[in-house]
Amino acid sequence: MKPVSSNEPAICVEGLDAGYADKVIFDRLSFQVERGELFVILGGSGCGKSTLLRLLIGLKSPSAGRILINGVDITTADEMAMNGVRTGIGVLFQSGALFGSMTLAENVALPLKEYTNLSPDAIERVVAMKLAMVSLAGHENHYPSELSGGMVKRAGLARAMALDPSILFFDEPSAGLDPITAAELDQLIKDLNRGLGTTVVVVTHDLESIMTIADRVIMLDGKKKGIIAEGDPRELKMHSQDPLVQSFFNREPLKTVL
């Protein structure tokens, strides 16, 4: 993988077209995520948030356009280049996506075993450190079924951070959590972003979380097949003239003309 320049965006999406069968989801979608930014992709149900995440992490291919992750175009990259990209990103899926038959330590160790040549002792030390970073020290031998929903999310985050990625992706991190646990996870996301300088991309429709963590957002709309708003969410709430944007940020029913 080529060296990452501090001057280039962490993520650059250019002219992206994507969809399923004959349904168009995105038409010429373009945006950038700056290095070290806490960036949120938001919008209502069915707007394409999850599809965009799958495109950004290489689980789905667009029909046109480019996606550059740390300067590498993942739409044309070969397997060797993609392996380099994968070591530079971490993903926390909505469910945590932990293997139920493995302990937390074994789950966190998986990417270290796959992508590094570290010794077993070194892997054990890294695993302990990552679990401590998410306040799960001492839980190495617990199984996912023995943990609360918030602890499972934090364990999933520890695994996502195992390779010290420069970019972290979060898929609906507060989904299924009570308000206090969701707030604690929001604070952890902010601490990782500010303390480590990690670029963070969050996919969510949780308004309270958005207003708490986001430096900048893009709002997607299924009908427009792209971005209808971009910027500081607090500014968009106060000053956007788009009825859908106003409705979303003020948690109001969308007024329709009869």
| Residues 121-148: tens digit of each pLDDT | 999 999 999 999 999 999 999 999 999 9
Domain that holds residue 117: 98-164
Mean pLDDT within 144-170: 93
Strand-by-strand arrangement of the 23-33 sheet: 23-33, 11-20, 64-69, 72-73
SS (H, E, C) 88-105: CEEEECCCCCCCCCCCHH
Q: Per the domain annotation, does 103 fall within a domain?
A: yes
Q: Whose CA is closest to 234, among 251, 252, 220, 217?
A: 217
Chain position carrying tokens 């998410």? 134
Mean pLDDT within 37-48: 91
Handedness of CA 86, 232, 52, 252 (dihedral sign): positive
User: Residue 103 in contact with residue 152, Cβ under 8 Å?
Assistant: no
Q: Per the domain annotation, does 33 fall within a domain?
A: no
Q: Whose CA is closest to 174, among 206, 133, 217, 207?
A: 206
Distance CA 170, CA 202 (A): 5
The predicted structure's pLDDT at residue 257: 40
Q: Per the domain annotation, does 255 fall within a domain?
A: no
Per-residue tokens: 62: 């667009």
Q: Per the domain annotation, does 115 fall within a domain?
A: yes
Which of these ranges, 9-13, 34-38, 42-46, 169-173, has the smallest mean pLDDT?
42-46
Q: Which amino acid is at 72?
A: V
Q: Whose CA is closest to 168, among 147, 153, 150?
A: 153
The predicted structure's pLDDT at residue 175: 86
Q: Per the domain annotation, does 125 fall within a domain?
A: yes
Mean pLDDT within 44-60: 91
Q: Per the domain annotation, does 106 fall within a domain?
A: yes
Q: Per the domain annotation, does 126 fall within a domain?
A: yes
User: Residue 141 in contact with residue 103, Cβ under 8 Å?
Assistant: yes
- pLDDT tens for each residue of 182-196: 999 999 999 999 999
pTM score: 0.91
Percent of the chain residues past pLDDT 90, beyond the cut: 81
C-alpha of 91 from chain center: 6
The predicted structure's pLDDT at residue 4: 53
Per-residue tokens: 162: 């195992």
Q: Which amino acid is at 74?
A: I
Q: Using 50, 70 and 90 to split pLDDT, how confident is the model at 22?
A: confident
Q: Tell me how many domains the chain contains.
A: 1
258 has a pLDDT exceeding 60? no
What does pLDDT average to over the chain?
Answer: 91
Distance CA 135, CA 54 (A): 28
Per-residue tokens: 32: 């950038």
Q: Which H or E run contains 170? A: strand 167-171
Cross-strand bridge partners of residue 171: 203
Strand-by-strand arrangement of the 226-231 sheet: 89-92, 167-171, 199-203, 38-42, 216-221, 226-231
The predicted structure's pLDDT at residue 253: 82
- pLDDT tens for each residue of 196-253: 999 999 999 899 999 999 999 999 999 999 999 999 999 999 999 999 999 999 888 8
Q: Per the domain annotation, does 151 fall within a domain?
A: yes
Percent of the chain residues past pLDDT 70, beyond the cut: 96
196's CB contacts (< 8 A; 6+ apart) are: none
Mean pLDDT within 83-89: 92
10 has a pLDDT exceeding 70? yes
